Amino acid sequence: MWSRVVEMMLGLWLLMSPFIFRYDDSQTMIWASDYACGSAVIVFSLLSYVQSCRKIHLMNIAIGFWLVGFAYYLGFGDAPPAAQNSLILGMVLLMFAVIPSEASVPAPRWR
């Protein structure tokens, strides 16, 4: 479940990024996107620890695509920090979301 812990850290980074990159108060859409995506990533990663919801971490794939698309919307020409942050976090989240929760445990037949 190490990949879910990394996803939670990425969600926490999304929650802190408006303060780290000092977004303007007029950029409410960027603030809302970072808070909504960060909160959702943390919730989905935590819910994947529940046995009946163990595949819910795959919802982070949709959030990863949203972040990449949002970075495209913000524009790559002058590459504002919010666009770079969304692009990198979206790509990293996509990579970690496809890792199974029991990736470090041997296959059932080998146990």
Please check whether residue 109 lies inside any domain of the structure.
no
Structural domain span for residue 75: 2-101
pTM to 2 decimal places: 0.87
- Return the residue matching tokens 């982070």: 60
- Is there a domain that residue 43 lies in? yes
d(CA 85, CA 74): 11
Paired tokens of 16: 């802190």
Mean pLDDT of 56-67: 94
The CA-to-CA distance between both ends of the chain, in Å, stands at 18
Whether 8 maps to a domain, the answer reads yes
Phi, psi of 99, deg, nearest 5: -75, 125
**Domains of the chain: total:** 1
What average pLDDT is seen over the chain?
A: 88
**80 part of a folded domain:** yes
CA distances to 1, 20, 40, 56, 71 from 31, in Å: 29, 12, 14, 25, 13
Residue 107 lies in a domain: no
CB within 8 Å of 5: residues ≥ 6 apart: 45
- On whether residue 108 sits in a domain, the answer given is no
The reply to whether 66 falls in a domain is yes
pLDDT in tens, 22-48: 888 787 888 899 999 999 999 999 999
Residue 59's pLDDT band, with cuts at 50, 70 and 90, is: very high
54-58, 70-74, 83-87, 99-103: lowest mean pLDDT where? 99-103
